[in-house]
Chains A and B, each alone.
Chain A
Amino acid sequence: MRDAAQRPVSDALAELLERAAGFDALCESLESVRRSGKGRVVLVGGEAGVGKTALLRWFCRERGGSAPILWGGCDPLFTPRPLGPLLAVAEEAGGPLEELVTNGAMPHELAAALVRQLSAHPGTVFVLEDVHWADEATLDVLKLLARRVAAVPVLVVASFRDDELDPGHPLRRVLGELATSATVRRLKLDRLSPAAVARLAQPTGVDPDELYRKTAGNPFFVVEALAAGVDEIPETVRDAVLARVARLSTAARSLLEAVALVPPQAELWLLDALAENVGCLQECLASGMLAADPSGVAFRHELARLAVEESVAPNRRVGLHRAALAALSNPASGEPDLARLAHHAEAARDADAVLRFAPGAAARAASLGAYREAAAQYARALRFGHRLSPRERADLLELRAGACYVTDEYDQGIAALREALECRTAQGDRLREGDVLRRLSDFLWCPGRTAESERRAREAVALLETLPAGSELAMAYANLASNCLAAQRSEEAAGWAARALELGDRLEDTEISVHALATLGVATLGAGGIVRLEQSLEIARRDGLAEQVARAYVLLAETAVIARRHAAASNYLEAGIGYCSERGLDLFLFYLLAFRARLQLDQGRWADAADSASAVLRVQRTSITPRIVSLVVLGLVRARRGDPGQWEPLDEAWRLAEPTGELTRLGPVAVARAEAAWLEGERNAVEAATEAALSLAVERNSRMLVGELAEWRRRAGLDEEAPEGAAEPYALELAGDWARAADAWAAIGCPYEAALALAAADDEKALRRSLAELQRLGARPAAAIVARRLRERGVRGLPRGPRAATRENPAGLTARQLEVLELLAEGLTNSQIADRLVVSQRTVDHHVATTLRKLAVRTRAEASARAVRLGLAGQDR
């Protein structure tokens, strides 16, 4: 056995080898925050043991003198304490932030308080460690902070294990949302190189190749393998850790086991209750296995804790959990921590204790917005719930379902509600049975199981109508109303909504009344519906009914987008996105983001539309409507540009929408598929794509869809009579009045539709206008169709396309910036340019700076070179 004391390379140094680049990147980011006052997020990813914490500690220590540091670590518990990491941060920061955390504020309030705190201390480094373990409320705070970070002078650093994120991991959603933000930078920590491993092995006499082969360069493994001090290099991290533990005295080993059983850290009073030999603590600390932190002692690394925890004999493990349970039920100070108690109760297999603590832990988590943890705590209680009565069991199941709804775990929520339904039926509680049916219907709708959703909605109404009318019945009416609305059976929807409204008013239940009023508004759009919808928004805002505010924004934005009322749509979207984004109402936010993509498409802003749609599609959610809308937008942008891959999104959208049988979901997909087929010259496919949708649209009197679908059939050359009831401007097109239709589209602000209307002209001038406009938009396939029509009329010498400069508007330059660039390329100074353009020099300075930035060049010479290449400026060749 070698003497570990001979190791001349400290653990700390080993963990910092080959980390200079990561360190520099962090310094650079902090420098940029200080310089610009604009915040940044750095995401530090890497496998367990790669040295993320070591790097962050090093960075904070080196920079610590000059920057305030806030540090929060996430607990490695299966069901972490809600907002656990922020407790430490709030304690550090004090003031209003601490007050909010102690009083159980929601994530959006905490994020707002953090923003204020960080704005008051510019240049703060805010570290969230191990966010792959973070509870949902903490992730929400991180996400909300990241959304506003550009306006806050803070460096947010979040570390996570990037190899442990399964596809459904909640962190993925956050990462997906942050992926394209310019304020976010990713830092990936790799394992050590063979050279670095050799450098660490060299003084110890260990074979460097063998060490590298076994550890694959994982710094933690390398350190542990060397510290194990055995002749044979251990095969696994676990073996290495246990070999190191084996060098300790028996008493110290037993103390170490106690610490391993009470993550995240062992307070000294807790340790007193668990172990007899607390005197050996010094030995454990000196060995480097444990480290002291303000609240107690903890393993230096989670990998080591796990290895020790797993090595504890099962009966001793249960004994330690029982002791921890007893001690934590009666803590030395403060309130008992329910999440920790529930954890030890389950590990001690103490059913009574689980049922005593888990529901309370769940309720607390839910009240803090940590719904994922709430759902898990309810599930934990239900695992021990075989002794519960049907009523108690059903109560827990319904609570669990509520948490699942918010966390997008629909399948599990539906399963919980089905079981709750059985319990309520067995229990003979008709009122609750009816209410569960209504909730089941609501759950089933989002993932598109519409037939069953509607059946359950009707069962709920039928059952509850046999009982005295109460809020359950009012909600059942409201739910059935929105079900009918989605199917565009407007009259029926209005009928149920009116009943819900009447009953809600009678019960003085504003939430139900507002919900029903909004539904009624959409169902009666032709007859004052918008006013009702606006009214519902106003009341919901007045009474602080956040979900109803969000729902009203979604409905208002959706109806405005469909009706091509762009200015109104834009206002609702902006206000709604701000509202939902600030409060973490993500389900509604995704609807609004998808409708924004659609609006941008209709406005001819295709690059923006594709970006917006892709942002929605990056995040996996069960709710299919935002996904369908975004897939349609992405497919249409590709089809209109003549880019490849247009059918993949359109096929997926159809697979999602078609089985719902709902016009609101499948109609726009049918329209998009018809257009894509027409652009490919597949006229028969246009007919097939529109057949069923058109008859449904006629049946439901959905005038916009009737117009769109019928118009594509006419464009495809189908010889049939146009159906009645098409909306303007489609009605004009169907009647052959292309000139007025084009004017109407232009007035509405739909340039592509205007150009397509002109494409139906039999007049060379109009066709040429259509061609020029389609070329300007970059609509290559449609432009080719119009060019062919012109050539068929004997027109020769058509432009092949606009000049490169005007096609995509290179680098997003405005007309004025292009002008400035041209003059700059001629070698004019800013003041000469100002004279030439008759503007102030300040304005020119501004235009030049913006132009350089957009072209991503540093000097005027580079900008001139670019201008020449773009064909914007003359050249001699």
Chain B
Amino acid sequence: MPRYVIERTFPTGLGIPATPAGAADCRNVVDRNAEEGVTWLQSYVSANDKATFCVYEAPSPEAIRRAAARNGLPVDRITQVRVLDPHFDG
């Protein structure tokens, strides 16, 4: 399945606390993603909490946007990516 990086901006900062409530929020996101065949692999969050870079596997960019809409998450840009490992054997 293709892999994508999704850039999102949260003008007032990302509000996922490291609490059971925050964990439940993440699980909800995962569940609703699954309904679109979308898998959230990992995210990188900027130091000021206002931008995230999420690595996803998804069948199409449209599936990512549908999942985002279900989760009420913004999408700035979707880029299809592949992995380049600095320690690959050449």
Q: Which residues of A contact B (CB under 8 A)?
A: 607, 610-611, 614, 634, 637-638, 641-645, 780, 800-801, 803-804, 807-812, 855-856, 865-866, 868-871, 875, 877
- Across-interface contacts of A803 in B (CB, < 8 A): 11
- CB nearest neighbor in B for A813: B72
Interface residues of B in 17-49 (CB under 8 A from A): 21, 25, 28, 32
A-B contact pairs, 23 of them (CB 8 A): A607-B62, A610-B65, A611-B62, A638-B61, A643-B78, A644-B79, A645-B61, A780-B77, A800-B9, A801-B9, A803-B11, A804-B10, A804-B74, A807-B74, A811-B72, A855-B72, A856-B28, A865-B25, A869-B72, A870-B74, A871-B10, A871-B11, A875-B13
Q: In the complex, what's the smallest C-beta–C-beta distance from B69 to chain A, in angstroms? A: 6
Bound Cα distance from A293 to B2, whole angstroms? 50
Which of B15, B68, B75, B76 makes the CB contact (< 8 A) with A869?
Answer: B15
Bound Cα distance from A780 to B76, whole angstroms? 8
Structural contact, A643 and B11, CB atoms closer than 8 A: no
Q: In the complex, what's the smallest C-beta–C-beta distance from B63 to chain A, in angstroms? A: 9
- A808 and B69 in contact (CB under 8 A), knowing A637-B62, A642-B77, A644-B79? yes
Structural contact, A869 and B14, CB atoms closer than 8 A: yes
Which of B8, B15, B16, B80 makes the CB contact (< 8 A) with A644?
Answer: B80
Which of B32, B66, B72, B76 makes the CB contact (< 8 A) with A870?
Answer: B72
Bound Cα distance from A642 to B64, whole angstroms? 13
Q: In the complex, what's the smallest C-beta–C-beta distance from B21 to chain A, in angstroms? A: 7
- Across-interface contacts of B4 in A (CB, < 8 A): 644
Bound Cα distance from A871 to B13, whole angstroms? 8
Q: In the complex, what's the smallest C-beta–C-beta distance from B8 to chain A, in angstroms? A: 8
Bound Cα distance from A808 to B72, whole angstroms? 9
Q: In the complex, what's the smallest C-beta–C-beta distance from A858 to chain B, in angstroms? A: 10
Bound Cα distance from A748 to B16, whole angstroms? 44
- Known pairs A607-B69, A644-B80, A855-B72; list 8 more (Cβ under 8 Å): A638-B61, A641-B78, A642-B77, A643-B78, A807-B74, A856-B28, A869-B16, A875-B12
Structural contact, B65 and A607, CB atoms closer than 8 A: yes
Grouping DSSP codes into helix (H, G, I), strand (E, B) and loop, the B interface class, with mixed when no group exceeds half, is mixed
Q: In the complex, what's the smallest C-beta–C-beta distance from A644 to chain B, in angstroms? A: 4
Bound Cα distance from A644 to B56, whole angstroms? 14
Q: In the complex, what's the smallest C-beta–C-beta distance from B25 to chain A, in angstroms? A: 7
Grouping DSSP codes into helix (H, G, I), strand (E, B) and loop, the A interface class, with mixed when no group exceeds half, is helix
Structural contact, A644 and B78, CB atoms closer than 8 A: yes
Bound Cα distance from A811 to B61, whole angstroms? 17
- A856 and B62 in contact (CB under 8 A), knowing A865-B21, A871-B12, A875-B12? no
Q: In the complex, what's the smallest C-beta–C-beta distance from A25 to chain B, in angstroms? A: 15
Bound Cα distance from A868 to B12, whole angstroms? 8
- Across-interface contacts of A638 in B (CB, < 8 A): 61-62
Q: In the complex, what's the smallest C-beta–C-beta distance from B36 to chain A, in angstroms? A: 10
Structural contact, A856 and B70, CB atoms closer than 8 A: yes
B32, B65, B68: which has the most chain A beta carbons within 10 Å?
B65
Which of B13, B32, B66 makes the CB contact (< 8 A) with A607?
Answer: B66
Structural contact, A875 and B15, CB atoms closer than 8 A: yes
Q: In the complex, what's the smallest C-beta–C-beta distance from B70 to chain A, in angstroms? A: 6
- Across-interface contacts of B61 in A (CB, < 8 A): 638, 641, 643-645
- A810 and B32 in contact (CB under 8 A), knowing A643-B61, A803-B11, A865-B15? no
- Across-interface contacts of B69 in A (CB, < 8 A): 607, 808-812
Q: Which residues of B contact A (CB under 8 A)?
A: 2, 4, 8-16, 21, 25, 28, 32, 60-62, 65-66, 68-80
- A808 and B80 in contact (CB under 8 A), knowing A644-B4, A877-B13? no
Bound Cα distance from A644 to B5, whole angstroms? 11
Q: Closest 9 CB pairs between A and B?
A: A804-B74, A644-B80, A643-B61, A810-B72, A871-B12, A869-B15, A610-B62, A811-B72, A871-B11
- A801 and B76 in contact (CB under 8 A), knowing A611-B62, A808-B68, A856-B70? yes
Bound Cα distance from A808 to B8, whole angstroms? 12
Which of B14, B28, B32, B74 makes the CB contact (< 8 A) with A808?
Answer: B74
- CB nearest neighbor in A for B62: A610
Which of A614, A807, A812 makes the CB contact (< 8 A) with B62?
Answer: A614
- CB nearest neighbor in B for A810: B72
- Across-interface contacts of B11 in A (CB, < 8 A): 803-804, 871
- Across-interface contacts of A643 in B (CB, < 8 A): 61-62, 65, 78
- Across-interface contacts of A645 in B (CB, < 8 A): 2, 60-61, 80
Q: In the complex, what's the smallest C-beta–C-beta distance from B53 to chain A, in angstroms? A: 15
Structural contact, B21 and A808, CB atoms closer than 8 A: no
- Across-interface contacts of A607 in B (CB, < 8 A): 62, 65-66, 69
Bound Cα distance from A810 to B74, whole angstroms? 7
Bound Cα distance from A622 to B78, whole angstroms? 33
Q: In the complex, what's the smallest C-beta–C-beta distance from B15 to chain A, in angstroms? A: 4
Q: In the complex, what's the smallest C-beta–C-beta distance from A188 to chain B, in angstroms? A: 15
- Across-interface contacts of A610 in B (CB, < 8 A): 62, 65
Bound Cα distance from A807 to B66, whole angstroms? 13
Bound Cα distance from A643 to B4, whole angstroms? 10
- Across-interface contacts of B62 in A (CB, < 8 A): 607, 610-611, 614, 634, 637-638, 643
Q: In the complex, what's the smallest C-beta–C-beta distance from A652 to chain B, in angstroms? A: 14
- CB nearest neighbor in B for A874: B12
- Across-interface contacts of A810 in B (CB, < 8 A): 69, 72-74
Bound Cα distance from A401 to B79, whole angstroms? 47
- CB nearest neighbor in A for B31: A856
Which of B32, B60, B76 makes the CB contact (< 8 A) with A856?
Answer: B32
- CB nearest neighbor in A for B59: A614
Q: In the complex, what's the smallest C-beta–C-beta distance from A613 to chain B, in angstroms? A: 9
- Across-interface contacts of B80 in A (CB, < 8 A): 644-645
Bound Cα distance from A809 to B65, whole angstroms? 12
Bound Cα distance from A541 to B16, whole angstroms? 59
- CB nearest neighbor in A for B32: A856
- CB nearest neighbor in B for A638: B61
Q: In the complex, what's the smallest C-beta–C-beta distance from B88 to chain A, in angstroms? A: 23
- Across-interface contacts of B72 in A (CB, < 8 A): 810-811, 855, 866, 869-870
Bound Cα distance from A808 to B65, whole angstroms? 9
Q: In the complex, what's the smallest C-beta–C-beta distance from A319 to chain B, in angstroms? A: 53
- Across-interface contacts of B70 in A (CB, < 8 A): 811, 856
- Across-interface contacts of A801 in B (CB, < 8 A): 9, 76
- Across-interface contacts of B32 in A (CB, < 8 A): 856
- Across-interface contacts of B75 in A (CB, < 8 A): 807-808
Q: In the complex, what's the smallest C-beta–C-beta distance from B80 to chain A, in angstroms? A: 4
Bound Cα distance from A877 to B65, whole angstroms? 28
B21, B62, B69, B71: which has the most chain A beta carbons within 10 Å?
B62
- Across-interface contacts of B15 in A (CB, < 8 A): 865, 868-869, 875, 877
Bound Cα distance from A875 to B62, whole angstroms? 31
A800, A865, A877: which has the most chain B beta carbons within 10 Å?
A865
- CB nearest neighbor in A for B72: A810
Q: In the complex, what's the smallest C-beta–C-beta distance from B38 to chain A, in angstroms? A: 14
Q: In the complex, what's the smallest C-beta–C-beta distance from A767 to chain B, in angstroms? A: 22
Structural contact, A869 and B10, CB atoms closer than 8 A: yes
Bound Cα distance from A641 to B75, whole angstroms? 10
Bound Cα distance from A637 to B69, whole angstroms? 16
Bound Cα distance from A794 to B65, whole angstroms? 34
- Across-interface contacts of A614 in B (CB, < 8 A): 60, 62
Q: In the complex, what's the smallest C-beta–C-beta distance from A814 to chain B, in angstroms? A: 14
A644, A812, A855: which has the most chain B beta carbons within 10 Å?
A644
- CB nearest neighbor in B for A613: B62
- CB nearest neighbor in A for B8: A804
Bound Cα distance from A423 to B79, whole angstroms? 58
- Across-interface contacts of A866 in B (CB, < 8 A): 72
A634, A643, A855: which has the most chain B beta carbons within 10 Å?
A643
- Across-interface contacts of A611 in B (CB, < 8 A): 62, 66
Bound Cα distance from A811 to B14, whole angstroms? 18
- Across-interface contacts of A808 in B (CB, < 8 A): 65, 68-69, 74-75
- CB nearest neighbor in A for B11: A871
- Across-interface contacts of A804 in B (CB, < 8 A): 8-11, 74
Q: In the complex, what's the smallest C-beta–C-beta distance from A781 to chain B, in angstroms? A: 10
